[in-house]
Amino acid sequence: AQSVTQLDSHVSVSEGTPVLLRCNYSSSYSPSLFWYVQHPNKGLQLLLKYTSAATLVKGINGFEAEFKKSETSFHLTKPSAHMSDAAEYFCVVSGMVGTYKYIFGTGTRLKVLA
Amino acid sequence: EAGVAQSPRYKIIEKRQSVAFWCNPISGHATLYWYQQILGQGPKLLIQFQNNGVVDDSQLPKDRFSAERLKGVDSTLKIQPAKLEDSAVYLCASSFLSSPLHFGNGTRLTVT
C-alpha cells in the first residue's frame, strides 16, 4: 500500500528566507514522487518529479527536492522565498497497482511574510 | 500543447438539484481522473478511466454520482441529487502511461 504524509499543514516564512516543506511517504515498491502547487482558484501545477533517476530533483521556480530512501522522505526546499510562492503545496506518491495510482498528501499552506 | 479543459468554472445550485461537469483531457492521454477537493483538504480520487473503461470508482458515491467517457476522450461527471456536503472543487486530470498528472482549473461547486 502507498501513503504520503505532509508533516506541516501551515508554514510561514519571511520573504528572502529558505523554505522547507516536509513530506514522508510509504510504499512497498520503488515509488514515483511529485510535488504540486495550487494557487488560489487555480488547478494543480507540477513543480517537480522523482522517478528513480537522480535523488536531487530540480523543479520550476527555484524549487528542489531530495529523495531519501533511508528516511522515506521527499522534502521540498527553496533557498529564498518570494511573495509569489504563497500557495498550497501537495506531495504525491504514485505507483503501479493494476493501473497507475496517485495518492495525495493533505497539503501544506505556505505563507510568505513581507 | 493545449491543457486539460474543464467547464463550467463555477456552479451554484440548491440541494437536491442536479449538475454536470465536463472535462476534455490533453490529446493522446488515455487515462482520465476526476478528483473532489473539499476546502482545506487534498484531492480525493472519485473515478479513474483508462480509455473509455472504468479502472477505479471505489470512492465514487454511486447512489448520486455518475461519470462517463463514452468515446475515450472527453468525460462528464454528474451529481443527482446534490447534497450540501458535495460543495467542493471538482478537478479533472489526465496522464499518459506513468507521466505526471496534468490538471484542469477545476469547477467550484456550491450547494445551498
Per DSSP, the residues of A44-100 read EEEEEEE-SS-SEEE-GGG-EEEEETTTTEEEEEESS--GGG-EEEEEEEEEEESEE
Q: Average model confidence (pLDDT) for chain B?
A: 94
Which comes out higher in pLDDT, residue A29 or B87? Answer: B87
Chain B CB within 8 Å of residue A32 CB: yes
Query: How confident is the model at residue B99, as a pLDDT?
Result: 83
Q: Which of A6, A39, A44, A91 to mutate to test the interface with B (most CBs of B within 10 A)?
A: A44
Please tell me which of the candidates A43, A100, A107 has its beta carbon nearest to residue B95. Answer: A100
Chain B CB within 8 Å of residue A106 CB: yes
**Mean pLDDT in residue range A49-57:** 87
* Cβ-Cβ contacts under 8 Å, A96 against chain B: 98
Query: How confident is the model at residue A65, as a pLDDT?
Result: 97
**Mean pLDDT in residue range A29-56:** 89
Nearest CA in chain A to B47: A101
Nearest CA in chain A to B5: A43
Distance CA A33, CA B91 (A): 20
Min Cα distance A61 → chain B (Å) is: 18
Interval B21-38: pLDDT, tens = 999 999 999 999 999 999
**Mean pLDDT in residue range B3-16:** 96
